Chain A
Amino acid sequence: MATALAHAGWRFRRPSVIPGFGLTFGFSIAYLSLIVLIPLAGVVWRSASLGWPEFWRIASDPRTLGALKMSFGGALAAALVNIVFGTLVAWVLVRYRFPGKRIVDAMVDLPFALPTAVAGIALTTLYAPNGWIGGLLAPLGIKVAYTPLGIIVAMVFIGLPFVVRTVQPVMEEIDREVEEAAATLGARRAQTVRRVILPGLAPAILTGFALAFARAVGEYGSVIFIAGNIPYVSEIAPLLIVIRLEEYNYAAATAIATVMLAISFAMLFVINLIQAWSRRRYGYGH
């Protein structure tokens, strides 16, 4: 089937002696279309059939705006926390030796592996006013669970490995001689870190930031338990989609989903741009 596409001049694929292209390519495309592309296109199609005025009315509804603001604002805050601590964790794992390092390294992937609902109820129990951490913070007047702060905590949890796992391999490849060169040129350690190491890691940190941000924006399971879900205050966009669906208000659910999809894909695009730019300019990227 693929060979049929090979016209003279424009060639779809480079000839190869390896068999199986038609079968595997055809199956992949069919499966991808059925599972991902057609259903996703359905959302866009549904959204388009709403018409612009109706779409805008739903998207600019204060509750929708509030939920979007919560999801994106929370994700932004969480991703910022994660690039600081994620980079720090990566640094400690790459550069220092301490007992149990291998276990700590493995633990970083926990948020990838732990089902979000489990993380959600565990975090809520910890940060509730009578929980281990919530109980410590309550006397200070800090409420975490059932507030926007709780949402950020959950988003930090699920976003952390994205930053660590993006930055860590780049950090491992830093040439020790580059740091030694900075030292021989008179740079003190802090200057070397700030002016030589961190700029070299910047593309990876930025990528990690974008990945953590994108994941946190769409996060549902770990957030809804700790969020409190008060409209206009601590309600996230995915939850609002679920609420609209439960009200059989498919139009609203679709519109909110479309806004989220558009922003997520824009993020994806920006990540690719950053990487391409970094490769072009510095000859490396992540």
Chain B
Amino acid sequence: MVIDQPFSAAGAQTPPPRSAVTEGRATRVALTVIALLFLAVFLVLPLVIVFLQAFANGVGAYFAALTEPDAVAAIQLTLLVAAIAVPLNLAFGVAAAWAVAKFEFKGKAFLTTLIDLPFSVSPVISGLVYVLLFGSQSLLGPWLAAHGVQILFAVPGIVLATIFVTFPFVARELIPLMEEQGTADEEAALSLGASGWQTFLRVTLPNVKWGLLYGVLLCNARAMGEFGAVSVVSGHIRGLTNTMPLQVEILYNEYNFAGAFAVASLLALLALVTLIIKTILEFRYGDALSGSTGH
């Protein structure tokens, strides 16, 4: 860089001093190397080890571990839970974003804080709240038992806990985006005679579709990967109430490392696909996705 600089006629042998707003080359290289090393150790190595361990006993063992009945049941349950939780949170996210972003009302900031609440609650506590609500000691417990309704240690409990932890994702993505876009488009559509639904479907939705997809993506990743909350309410019944992350735990605690990492590799793959789609969305439609980052 500096070397290529033609020297001035008067023979100022010293190359021109470097830019005023960056560090020296040595500093830049050093900082980059430190940052990359840190990321390599903390992010890349764990990801690499998942796949290495998954295939430690060969490809055959890998697929055997994945097609084993308990693993298949866990995969099915995980898909089922996500298939229920994600659409519900999607509906909530859209409704909440519409109410918060398109209207001015008292206590709006407080409502937004409440929507974010599940993010600041430990996953274990997210599970605990449902144990306290539906457990045998609770007010509802005896009544539920008498009517033969099983919530805890069954699929409904898992779904509820998953909904709780993934609750804010879609709303959080949509609210800032829709606030930024204001209400002028909707008002224009309404003044042209569109109904409320037409306005939503044909004006609002196209404006936020990428942000919506982004929120759903993050919501889904978390729904399929949730561990703590689900662990508290599931009861760990093999083949019945084990999701994939719980299956990973059980296999790992049984020292079936290859099996644990095989199931884990599917979840890691899901995470990678999520990251890739997310990156593509940000790259392609960066302007259509507002600043907030999903957690």
Hey, which bits of chain A sit against chain B, CB under 8 A? 2, 12-14, 16-21, 23-25, 27-29, 31-32, 35-40, 42-43, 46, 85, 88-89, 91-93, 95-96, 98, 102, 104-119, 121-123, 125-126, 131-133, 153, 156-157, 160-162, 165, 169, 176, 179-180, 183-184, 189, 211, 214-215, 217-221, 225, 237-239, 241-242, 245, 250, 253-254, 257, 260-261, 264-265, 267-268, 272
CB-CB under 8 A from B257, the residues of chain A are: 125
Given contacts A42-B129, A218-B124, A267-B120, whether A16 and B103 have CB atoms under 8 Å apart is yes
Q: Which residues of B contact A (CB under 8 A)?
A: 20-24, 28, 31-32, 34-36, 38-39, 41-47, 49-50, 53, 88, 91-92, 94-96, 98-100, 102-106, 111, 113-115, 117-118, 120-125, 128-133, 135, 137-138, 160, 163-164, 167, 183, 186-187, 190-191, 196, 199-200, 218, 221, 224-228, 231-232, 244-246, 248-249, 252, 257, 260-261, 264, 267-268, 270-272, 274-276, 278-279, 283, 291, 293-295
Q: A18-B186, A20-B200, A95-B22 given as contacts; is B122 within 8 A of A123 (CB)?
A: no
User: Do A36 and B117 have beta carbons less than 8 Å apart?
Assistant: yes
The distance in angstroms between the C-alpha atoms of A133 and B44, with both chains bound, is: 13
Closest B residue to A116 using CB positions: B227
- B43 engages A180 (CB within 8 Å): no
Residues on A with C-beta less than 8 A from B111 are 28-29, 32
Chain B residues within 8 Å of A104, by CB: 36, 39
CB A67 to nearest CB in B, in angstroms, measures 12
Contact of B43 among A42, A46, A110, A245 (CB under 8 A): A110
Contact of A176 among B21, B187, B221, B283 (CB under 8 A): B21
Q: Which residues of A contact B226 (CB under 8 A)?
A: 115
The residue that B49 contacts in the complex, of A88, A125, A180, A267, with Cβ under 8 A, is A125
Q: Is A257 a contact of B225 with CB atoms below 8 Å?
A: no
With A17-B187, A264-B122 known as contacts, the answer to whether A254 contacts B132 (CB < 8 A) is yes
| B295 lies within 8 A of A162 (CB) | yes
Kindly identify which residue among B102, B167, B218 contacts A36, using a CB–CB cutoff of 8 Å.
Answer: B167
A271 to chain B, nearest CB (A): 9
Given A88-B34, A117-B227, A122-B50 contact (CB < 8 Å) = yes
Q: Give the complex CA separation of A242 and B268 in angstroms.
A: 25
B125 touches A42 (CB 8 A): no
A24 contacts across to B, CB distance below 8 A: 94-96, 98-99
Q: Do B279 and A264 touch across chains, with their CB atoms under 8 A apart?
A: no
Contact A160 B42 (CB under 8 A): yes
Residues of B within 8 A of A14 (CB): 103-105
Q: For B24, list chain A residues within 8 Å (CB).
A: 189
4 shortest interchain CB distances as A-B pairs: A218-B122, A115-B225, A13-B105, A220-B228
- Complex-state Cα separation, A27 to B92, whole angstroms: 7
Q: List 5 A-B contacts (CB under 8 A).
A: A28-B92, A38-B133, A116-B228, A121-B260, A211-B295
Contacts A20-B200, A110-B43, A165-B293 hold; do A28 and B99 have CB atoms under 8 A apart? yes
Beyond A114-B47, A118-B248: 7 further Cβ-contacts under 8 Å? A42-B133, A98-B36, A113-B221, A117-B264, A132-B45, A219-B122, A267-B120
| Chain B neighbourhood of A31, CB < 8 A | 88, 92, 95
Q: Give A97 Cβ to nearest chain B Cβ, in Å.
A: 9
Verify A114–B267 contact, CB threshold 8 A: yes
Report whether B132 and A250 are in contact in the complex, using a CB–CB cutoff of 8 Å.
Answer: yes
Chain A, Cβ-Cβ closest to B266: A118
Point out the residues of chain B lying under 8 angstroms from A85, CB to CB.
Answer: 35, 38
Task: Using A107-B39, A112-B294 as known contacts, say yes or no to A260 and B249 having CB atoms under 8 A apart.
Answer: no
A85 to B125, CA, bound (A): 29
Question: Which of B38, B125, B275 is close to A241, meaning CB atoms less than 8 Å apart?
Answer: B125
One of A35, A117, A180, A253 near B164 (C-beta < 8 A): A35
Choose from A115, A161, A218 the contact partner of B121 (Cβ within 8 Å). Answer: A218
Known: A104-B36, A122-B264. A115 touches B271 (CB 8 A): yes
B49, B100, B267: the one within 8 Å of A115 (CB): B267
With contacts A28-B92, A180-B20, A238-B228 taken as known, whether A107 is within 8 angstroms of B123 at the C-beta atoms is no
Report which of A38, A133, A254 forms a contact with B45, defined as CB distance below 8 A.
A133
Q: Report Cα–Cα, A98/B196, bound state, in Å.
A: 49
CB-defined contacts of B120 to chain A, threshold 8 Å: 214, 218, 264-265, 267-268
Give complex CA distance A246, B203 in Å: 51
A254 to B102, CA, bound (A): 39
Q: B125 and A36: CB pair below 8 A?
A: no
B114 — which chain A residues lie within 8 A by C-beta?
A: 32, 36-37
A13 nearest CB neighbor, chain B only: B105
B4 CB to closest chain A CB (Å) equals 17
Interchain CB contact (< 8 A) of B46 among A23, A113, A157: A157
